[in-house]
Chains A and B, each alone.
Chain A
């Protein structure tokens, strides 16, 4: 990956939630998750854009110089992909509703978009529906991956398979084994891992990840964790060798009027020395939580101070909790704008810190140091 850890920020049609280009300036977002379902209804426009103009797709969505990551599953949308008995495709949530999409259409869209990273088409299994659904999902995902690798081999697109199967270790192994054929393909980069958002224990997550990694032990495979991108999952995943993370939590939190208030990320070298550099164990994460503030706040405790007086984000440098509280009470959208800027800034700082600790080979020590404040 171009960067580790890679935080892949979710968008709608290539636009970050609540952020105009001006308000993005103070942030340094270099990735862009593109949800395929946002673009199928505009296929003719995209073809016209390609054939009749000098405007590239990246210019069209105003995301030049960004890493584009295209996927069929977008966890910001409820039920974005549904199963279909048709072997050639799945049903994807689009502007006009849920519609059938074939893998051929998906691959054609990938050619138009030309992302750096493409997660091959996948079918979300209905875990409750039993093994038939999960088997079908696994086998279709493997087939879609094969077709993508074959049909996009003339491109520079890095292709990622989709490992479904929830947190069931048997299903995870099946999904991984079925896609093992991809390892030698030049365009193949790794896998996006699904199912880790569910409210299971850290031990279940650790077990599910371990079995997938055991299938590819010794191979150069990159892993991306699909889902919300909550901070604890990032800390855990990175410790376990996951390098990419789909991120929507800063936007989702802002939409829900929540302010992320993680403890300060900066540690002194001397403070890290006492901690082990081994991988983080599941039990070390149990009961840990990232602090946040939920608006509207009680009027008695409104303060004329920033969300976090030590934070250097645009919102904290320019506005107070009192003002944001007023915006929330008046239902002004600017509240979400300012909260998005603050929350995203926290992620930017976290990413920088994790990168720094990786470079210093102190990642796990730092994570352990940090966990003690949660």
Chain B
């Protein structure tokens, strides 16, 4: 186990020279877990990091200034949706998405691959690419790897994603193998099509579902391509939790140590803690803001449903000590009543949930630097599962693998 403690005071160990638009510096580790700095064209990002999702160039009800105020340095947008509206040509004309939305920090764009699953009723995949029927106006969009990369070049995000052939995680048999192998073939077309290698980082996506052999093959194929960072795709789709963590662990064990790893679509607080311990550096998920719109807030003791009548007479913030504007300004009681009246209540809960995850990541990161990840993780789990009375076995096993002994409640 490598414990680097007070390493932030020391000169950073540069893993890569700044010849590429990404510089990844590991400050401290605890087995697989890493506390790092990722330098991108629009500034530094401290990892492990949670990336809020602004699919169409907007966080629902939360302004970019509020995101900045939360300390967010990297957020996500979606190529598929932006390609429809406002369109890649327009974004290129105005100088890219950063300028269009007035966001001075980093952006990562998803390639549109995920929509093959989320809009599967409206899409058809062939070796050439994917054809979508627009949910907006019934028009047709042909998204080949070249198209996705071209649009992402126009959008100008700091990190762009390879177009992958995405199938449901629980898919088995030849279709999963086909998808995994096609993802590699498409990656070569992505790399060929990528015109902004100097200022945009193309991340390939490891596929293979929960089949270790397919994952192994995908990992081998992708690592050979020497990308600036890698994503782990095809998870968080309803698979068994044991399969989930073992797949993550298989990927992080194999992926290059000196490059960032991004676990796509994962953003439950417990999952990001466990997977950070397994060596993941980046996460994204719409859950934090989507669940907020239904009145559910993240707390150290798990999810708090502010719509429940029990919240009506609780004159305390969602989370004591939280510095977000919802917690500094309002009690659970007020938010409980406001939810029924105004959508601004949901904006406030969204802000709280985003802040919760951003802070959770920073605290976890600091514990790695301080050599206290075991204490941090145990403390987190003790609180999170306090009301349930038991920590799920898969978490204990995953963390044991990560060299973090967990005390059952």
Contacts and interface: CB of A to CB of B under 8 A. Distances in A.
Interface of A: 12-13, 15-23, 38, 42, 44-45, 48-49, 52-53, 55, 60-62, 95, 304, 314, 318-320, 322-323, 326-327, 329-330, 332-334, 337-338
B344 A15 contact: yes
B400 interface: no
Contacts of B337: 13, 42, 45
A61 B56 CA distance: 32
A42 B312 contact: yes
A298 B313 CA distance: 49
A327 B342 CA distance: 20
30 contacts: A12-B341, A15-B342, A18-B343, A20-B351, A21-B325, A21-B329, A23-B65, A23-B66, A42-B312, A42-B337, A45-B313, A45-B333, A49-B333, A55-B331, A60-B331, A62-B329, A62-B330, A304-B94, A314-B65, A322-B90, A322-B94, A326-B57, A326-B85, A327-B58, A330-B56, A332-B56, A332-B60, A334-B61, A334-B62, A334-B63
Contacts of A13: 334, 337-338, 341-342
A233 B325 CA distance: 36
Nearest to A330: B56
Contacts of B345: 15
Contact of A20 (B90, B331, B348): B348
B86 interface: yes
Interface residues of B, number: 41
A22 B312 contact: no
A164 B344 CA distance: 33
A35 to B, nearest CB: 10
Given A21-B329, A23-B66, A326-B86, A15 B338 contact: yes
A20 B342 contact: no
Interface string B98-127: 001110000000000000000000000000
A62 B313 CA distance: 16
Contacts, number: 110
B66 A18 contact: no
B249 interface: no
A316 to B, nearest CB: 12
Q: Lowest 10 CB-CB distances: which A-B pairs, in order?
A: A332-B58, A62-B329, A330-B56, A333-B61, A334-B58, A12-B342, A12-B341, A326-B86, A21-B329, A53-B315
Contacts of A326: 56-57, 85-86, 100
A42 B334 CA distance: 10
B355 to A, nearest CB: 12
A56 B337 CA distance: 17
A19 B63 contact: no
A49 B340 contact: no
B101 A323 contact: yes
Nearest to A329: B85
B341 A38 contact: yes
Interface of B: 56-66, 69, 81, 85-86, 90, 94, 100-102, 312-313, 315, 325, 328-331, 333-334, 337-338, 340-345, 347-348, 351
Nearest to A44: B313
Contact of B344 (A20, A53, A320): A20
A298 to B, nearest CB: 15
B65 A318 contact: yes
A371 to B, nearest CB: 35
Contacts of B100: 320, 322-323, 326
Contacts of A48: 313, 315
A80 B334 CA distance: 22
Given A13-B341, A319-B101, A323-B102, 18 more contacts: A13-B342, A15-B341, A16-B344, A20-B325, A20-B344, A20-B347, A22-B66, A22-B325, A45-B333, A49-B333, A55-B331, A62-B329, A304-B94, A318-B102, A322-B94, A322-B100, A326-B86, A330-B81
A322 B61 CA distance: 18
Contacts of B90: 322
Contacts of A95: 340-341
Contacts of B65: 22-23, 314, 318
Contacts of A52: 315
A22 B69 contact: yes
Nearest to B70: A22
Contacts of A23: 63, 65-66
A130 B59 CA distance: 51
